[in-house]
Amino acid sequence: MKKALIGMLVLGIAISSCERVPITNRRQLTFVPNDQMLALSSTQYKQFIDTSTVVRNGDAEMVKRVGMRIRQAVEKYMNENGYAKRLEGFNWEYNLVQDPQVNAWCMPGGKIVVYTGILPYTKNEAGLATVMGHEVSHAIAEHGNERMSESLVANGLLQVGQAYIGSQAQQSTTTKALFMQAVGATLPAAYQVGRALPHGRSQELEADHLGLIFMAMAGYDPREAVPFWQRMAQAGGGNKPPEFLSTHPSDQRRINDLQKLMPEALKYYTGR
């Protein structure tokens, strides 16, 4: 009987928490309250920035410029297509951190970090827009909330009316670790070169899709996304696992999908 009640509770939460991702229209399950995700994001982002070497000039200006243009494109699309609620509580930040990792990430609320190690591969603003558009799209699609919700369900950590990440659990080490993994940001030793923390392949490809549209709307040529991923593929060499063993799509799969999406993205691109 108890198991049945728990099952009914989870089912009820699942039904009431199903939303659709902008642009792709995919149904998703997210039931961690957004204000809790944003609160954790703000706290963890500040701690990360306070303990990192933040670049304040030079390439940092480019990161902020690209970030602002992506933000404007995102806000325009979301407001015009009935998704404005997803941006409630966003407090955008864009920081370049001195670190050799070939990586970048974005926490809920528009909290963006780009590592200097990825700049040799982005090459130009359009390449950087490919990266930042992709990472912002994880936040817009609420992939972190989705992954955290799935983890909580898998670990039986649901409580009536809210997830385990409730107000009393916000400061726990377990909750923070789960959050950082869910949003793709953690300690440097946990990264692989050229890869953020594991995300689902479908979420990575979805972020590619949204990111391509957002960078085009921001005035960056979406066709620049293909050579960026080609450079990333060359940098990876032959040390990558087969796609079925990885939580990320293969570079060639990614490139092929981007090429298929290009006609859609180019409809949003007017150039600057």
- Just list the catalytic residues: 135
d(CA 78, CA 15): 23
d(CA 97, CA 221): 25
d(CA 262, CA 259): 5
**Please, which residues have CB within 8 angstroms of residue 244's CB and are 6 or more apart in sequence?**
none
**Please, which residues have CB within 8 angstroms of residue 248's CB and are 6 or more apart in sequence?**
195, 198, 199, 201, 204
Report long-range pairs for 156-162 (Cβ below 8 Å, ≥24 apart): 158/6, 158/9, 158/10, 158/13, 160/9, 162/33
Contact 20, 27 (CB under 8 A): yes
